[in-house]
Amino acid sequence: MRIGYVFLPERGATDAVLTEVAAHLLAEGVPVAGAVQSNTGCDIHCDMDVRVLPDGPVIRISQRLGAGSSGCRLDAGALEVAVMEVAARLAGARLLVVNKFGKHEAEGRGFRQMLAEVAGDGVPVLIGINSMNRQAFFDFAGDLAEEVAPERALDWARLVVAEGV
């Protein structure tokens, strides 16, 4: 059971690492499931989209709350749609990549149940974390949490996939 996590403090940097890892593995023919995030229009508030791996749709998981808003912009319903889309593509996956252990996962929603089930089934997981939900992730993953240096993320993913053969 392997749960690797990537953390970079710069906005969008962890997303870029996970997207690159998934793209390389998919190009190599590795069955990868999950979701990677991209952000656009980040002048004030970013529009957040997730691409369901390996072949799924791109789903907007943010909502526009107006210029004066300061609350959470995550569209919880859209996130749950993304979770269902990923679940429909899990069969045969050799690695699960999830863009972030975020607030919803910290509260027991979002990808949390899937993460537990997939890791429990022996499929390795590579996930992004942020400062705000870091402790909740460690509480969830416990001793299974492995820090993965961003520059080594692809090597780590290849290794854990090969170990599962």
Q: pLDDT tens for residues 32-59?
A: 999 998 876 555 567 788 999 999 899 9
Query: Which of 51, 96, 102 shows the shortest CA–CA distance to 76?
Result: 102
Strand partners, 46: none
Helices (H) and strands (E) in the chain, counts: 6, 7
Q: What is the pLDDT of residues 107-149, one digit of tens each?
A: 999 999 999 999 999 999 999 999 899 999 999 999 999 999 9
6 — pLDDT class (breaks 50, 70, 90): very high
For 111, the domain range is 3-163
Tell me the two tokens of residue 130: 């942020």
Question: Are the CB atoms for 30 and 94 separated by under 8 Å?
Answer: yes
Does residue 157 register a pLDDT over 70?
yes
CATH of the domain at 121: 3.40.50.300
pLDDT of residue 71 exceeding 50, the answer is no
Count of the separate structural domains present in the chain: 1
pLDDT at 39: 73
| Nearest-angstrom CA–CA distance, 1 and 86 | 20
